């Protein structure tokens, strides 16, 4: 298993509802694409459309800059179906993960 890159807490965007922090996400912008490095939603707030809203927002940001949006998930992660439903295409598989890409 390879080591995860350091994800500085200061780069995360916090998701809050009614002054309660319920999740976070991290995007890195590169010259030709955005990468959604992490999207976390507290369990009791999952399946309420919050993740969908965040991903739609990020897709729009990438689209405005004419860039694709990429991400990876572990093969056994049920989030794979979520990203497929959100219009992402499988761009490859490597070391137990699935790479997804959304091109507007």
- pTM score, whole prediction: 0.87
Proportion of the chain above pLDDT 90, given as a percent: 87
Tokens of 67: 């860039």
DSSP string, 57-72: HHHHHHHHTT-EEEEE
pLDDT, average across residues 14-39: 95
Mean pLDDT score across all residues of the chain: 92
The backbone torsions φ and ψ at residue 7, rounded to the nearest 5 degrees and listed phi first, read -110, 100
pLDDT, average across residues 9-23: 93
Domains of the chain, each with CATH number or no CATH: 12-102 (3.40.630.30)
Tell which wins on pLDDT, 44 or 6: 44
Helix/strand/coil for 33: strand
Tell which wins on pLDDT, 35 or 9: 35
Q: At 95, is the pLDDT very low, low, confident or very high (cuts 50, 70, 90)? A: confident
Ramachandran class of 72: left when φ > 0, alpha when ψ lies in -120 to 50, beta otherwise:
beta
Helix/strand/coil for 49: coil
Residue 6: its pLDDT value, please? Answer: 66
Residue 5: its pLDDT value, please? Answer: 61
Q: What is the pLDDT of residues 32-66, one digit of tens each?
A: 999 999 999 999 999 999 999 999 999 999 999 99
């Amino acid at each position: 298993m390879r080591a995860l890159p350091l994800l500085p807490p200061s780069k995360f965007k916090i998701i809050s509802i009614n002054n309660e922090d319920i999740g976070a996400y991290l995007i890195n912008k590169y010259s030709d694409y955005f990468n959604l490095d992490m999207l976390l939603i507290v369990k009791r707030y999952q399946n309420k459309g919050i993740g969908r809203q965040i991903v739609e927002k990020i897709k729009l940001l990438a689209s405005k800059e004419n860039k694709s949006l990429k991400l990876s998930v572990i093969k056994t992660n049920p989030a794979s179906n979520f990203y497929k439903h959100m219009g992402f295409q499988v761009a490859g598989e490597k070391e137990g993960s699935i790479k997804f890409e959304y091109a507007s």
